[in-house]
Amino acid sequence: MTATDDDEPPSAEDLVRELMKAGASERWARLWVTSPTGLLSGLRPGDAIANPATADRARTALRRQAAQLPEPIPAGVYVTGARIRDEGTYMVELTFAWPSGIAVRHWDAEPYLAASRAHEVLLTDYERFTELHVADRTLSWPGDLDFAPEFLYGESWPAGTPGPR
């Protein structure tokens, strides 16, 4: 889809809709298109992209980005099971459920534990990490340490497929 002299210049809202058609959530699409570090920083939803070359570059970038989007997070997702996948590692196998389905996914906890001051104790004490369990429909550890189920689903990958590394 390219802009011609007869076309209306696309607006930031048009680009948000294109991202949403590709599977992005509305919130993510709006942030990506108009945030200060986004594709078209400073645009408001009704603003038009007057330069056709800029519009074409934006659409190409959107298509490229949309092809890399993770699968949508199911509404109402929660964790029903958790276990360490490989002893001695921070790889966790999680079972998720939501009103219309279930899935088993793998999650590499190590980078997220290292990035969180509250959770980094689990990196320095592997025995404590092994105390993971499901509580309140999410992955938890003693001491009120947990991660939101939506976050875990979004950062994990389907069992049986290669992970991000």
**What are the backbone dihedrals phi and psi of residue 130, each rounded to the nearest 5 degrees, phi first?**
-70, -10
Structure tokens at 104: 């088993």
Indicate the pTM of the whole model: 0.59
The answer to whether the Cα torsion of 39, 44, 46, 52 is positive or negative is negative
User: Tell me: the pLDDT tens digits for 144-154?
Assistant: 899 999 999 98
Residue 81: its pLDDT value, please? 97
Range scoring the smallest mean pLDDT among 9-23, 86-100, 124-138, 139-153? 9-23
- For residue 89, what pLDDT band results from cuts at 50, 70 and 90? very high
User: Selecting from 3.30.1360.70, 3.40.50.300, 3.30.2020.10, 3.40.630.40, what CATH number does the domain 78-158 have?
Assistant: 3.30.2020.10
Give the span between the Cα atoms of 104 and 97, in whole angstroms.
9
Q: List, as one string, the DSSP characters of 56-69.
A: HHHHHHHHHHHHTP
